[in-house]
Amino acid sequence: MIFKGKVWKFGDNVDTDAIIPARYLNTSDPAQLARHCMEDADPEFVKKMNAGDIILGGENFGCGSSREHAPIAIKTSGISCVVAKSFARIFYRNAFNMGLPIFESRQLADAVSEGKEITIDSARGTITVAGTNQQFTISPIPPFMEQLIADGGLMKHIAKK
Amino acid sequence: MGNTITEKILMAHTGFSEISAGQLINASVDVALGNDITAPIAIREFQTAGGKKVFDRDKVALVLDHFTPNKDINSAQQCKTVREFAMEHGITHFYEGGQVGVEHALLPEKGIVLPGDLVIGADSHTCTYGALGAFATGVGSTDLAAAMLTGELWFKVPSSIKFVVYGKMPRWVAGKDLILNIIGRIGVDGALYQAMEFTGETISALPMADRLSMANMAIEAGAKNGIFAPDAITEEYVKPRARRPYKFYASDADAVYSQIIEIDAGKLEPQVAFPHLPSNVKGISQAGNVKIDQSLIGSCTNGRIEDLRIAAGILKHRKAASGVRLIVVPATPFIYRQALLEGLLEIFLNADAVISPPSCGACLGGHLGILAAGERAIATTNRNFVGRMGHPKSEVYLASPAVAAASAVLGRIASPEEL
């Protein structure tokens, strides 16, 4: 798949309380959760971002709680995918299980500034930065995880089996 | 080449006779846990996938402990969703109302999770049960749905970091201080995707309550699980509670570790994690003059009877400082009653504490103890992220029950030694 969008940058250790604060967890309605996406990291984020944009994190993105509300809020907000230097493990599996595309790239975060447009080619495993000849590689994922994505998430994968 | 305890438990839940770190496996699940926040999404996924029956009604635990007693209409609706599902499927381990406790205190107390088990929970602090010598890890709601449907889940076998702890812990130093110190050393992603295995002479002597609070915070170092080899202390805790067989596993002498870290517990002082990361840890002597508005004693980390005894020992014949809201949360109904019988609740009331019903509410900024902008709390909980206990401009400092109690009395972050 190809993901092309503007980058919103966040630092290291973006936790799930920042992605979707617990005060909003009295619902699991995706549309309501999406309204508060990234609120405690950037209260204006939902107003500023556009559908198709990309979140770019540092180390350990999505640390903390197991709340799947976090990837649900991000996906439903219209963010197309998340790229980070590394992901916290529960967020990582949640994203694959529920179908939010995420990519690991150790170099990208330090190389691009906020607002730049990037293109991710998940099949080729590359990320390019618009207006430059910079190209980065995505850390490869195991075949099983690729299958999860191809099947549309864990539950559909199980149904297929 | 030998295996770690984590590898052995995982292997025992697969058909494999060999297993190694990095391998992707499907493993059978002994207990699958959800709460009022995470279960509603799992139930939706379960039903969307056409699920008609849970794989084993005795192996699913549903605990309504987060936004309970119901904090608002939406929370009540979420609880209703889970309750109806539990009734429909005849879930054996369904807890609410006067039977509910904070899940990670409740499940070990009830003997629902046991040594050698493979436990998944749609709650990140599910890693608590590693204290019993189980493999226990937090997952998301879709994982819970899959486990409830099939009784299996996919895992990547983690490599392990071995912590060897030696030396006698000084007075007022507890398991909480040890785990805060470890997280301070290795960072919030210091054990990312890995198992944290706690060993050594200090660990062998460590009471179960301290082991539970240490394993509880393995996730705060990014770990998949924290684990203690079961021993006589485990047996003493588990034997009167278990209603099914359990098994002790131990790491082989030639097991492979990604790292071995030695810690001299004899040199520790009480620890405090400053805002806004659990790794931002200082010794109490370096805390400086930090005034507090609230002291919270409770949670799945430190809401057990042993924690309440320590707090009561400090609060006896003393009061919370003027302007400090002291909140005590016995983690389960059993602990609540025990605290009543031992006279601890009387001590807390005399100290001007609010005694909360068992709930996760305050710890995650849900209800029952929210902070306003600019307010500071010392808490015996496990997270101090931005906005964790309320307003994004509030602050949370993590510490042991002893430090939280002493701080409540003095109105600032303080060591019990100062009293």
Interval B147-189: pLDDT, tens: 999 999 999 999 999 999 999 999 999 999 999 999 999 999 9
- Closest CA in chain A for residue B225: A89
Instruction: Give the pLDDT confidence score for residue B110 in this predicted structure.
Output: 98
A145 pLDDT more than 90: no
pLDDT, tens digit (0-9, with 9 covering 90-100), for B255-278: 999 999 999 999 999 999 999 999
**Angstroms from A82 CA to nearest CA on chain B:** 18
Please list every residue in chain A whose beta carbon sits closer than 8 Å to the beta carbon of residue B154.
144, 154
Average pLDDT over residues B338-358: 98
- Tell me if chain A has a CB within 8 Å of the CB of B78: yes
> For residue B121, which of B211, B27, B6, B38 has the smallest C-alpha distance?
B38
Task: Report the C-alpha gap between A119 and A131 in whole angstroms.
Answer: 11
Q: Is the Cβ pair B37, A40 closer than 8 Å?
A: no
Domain range annotation of chain B: 5-263, 271-418
B139 pLDDT more than 90: yes
Domain range annotation of chain A: 2-160
- Closest CA in chain A for residue B153: A154
- Nearest by CB to B366, from A22, A27, A159: name it: A22
**Angstroms from A156 CA to nearest CA on chain B:** 7
pLDDT band, residue B1 (cuts 50/70/90): confident
- The helix (run of H) or strand (run of E) holding residue A7 is strand A2-9
With a threshold of 0.90, does the pTM exceed it? yes
Domain B5-263 adopts which CATH fold? Aconitase; domain 3 (3.30.499)
- Closest CA in chain A for residue B146: A155
Token pair 């697969």 is found at B14
pLDDT band, residue A152 (cuts 50/70/90): confident
- Nearest by CB to A97, from B140, B193, B365: name it: B140
Instruction: Give the pLDDT confidence score for residue A142 in this predicted structure.
Output: 85
- The helix (run of H) or strand (run of E) holding residue B389 is none
pLDDT, tens digit (0-9, with 9 covering 90-100), for B203-236: 999 999 999 999 999 999 999 999 999 999 999 9
Q: Is the Cβ pair A158, B48 closer than 8 Å?
A: no
Average pLDDT over residues A99-125: 94
Average pLDDT over residues B317-321: 98
Please list every residue in chain B whose beta carbon sits closer than 8 Å to the beta carbon of residue A28.
40-41, 44, 78
Structure tokens at B6: 């984590």
pLDDT band, residue A160 (cuts 50/70/90): confident
3-state SS, residue B306: helix
Domain B271-418 adopts which CATH fold? Aconitase; domain 3 (3.30.499)
- Tell me if chain B has a CB within 8 Å of the CB of A158: yes
> For residue B267, which of B362, B125, B166 has the smallest C-alpha distance?
B166
Q: Is the Cβ pair A63, B388 closer than 8 Å?
A: no
Give B126's contacts (C-beta < 8 A, 6+ positions apart): A66, B33, B104, B119, B120, B136, B137, B138, B139
Helices marked H in B268-394 — which ranges?
299-302, 305-315, 333-341, 344-350
Work out the percent of chain B whose per-residue pLDDT is above 90. 100
Instruction: Give the pLDDT confidence score for residue A141 in this predicted structure.
Output: 84
pLDDT, tens digit (0-9, with 9 covering 90-100), for B44-98: 999 999 999 999 999 999 999 999 999 999 999 999 999 999 999 999 999 999 9
Q: Which one is the CATH code of A2-160: 3.40.50.620, 3.90.1410.10, 3.20.19.10, 3.40.50.150?
A: 3.20.19.10
- The helix (run of H) or strand (run of E) holding residue A63 is none
Lowest average pLDDT, out of B11-15, B18-22, B344-348, goes to B18-22
> For residue B388, which of B376, B400, B399 has the smallest C-alpha distance?
B376
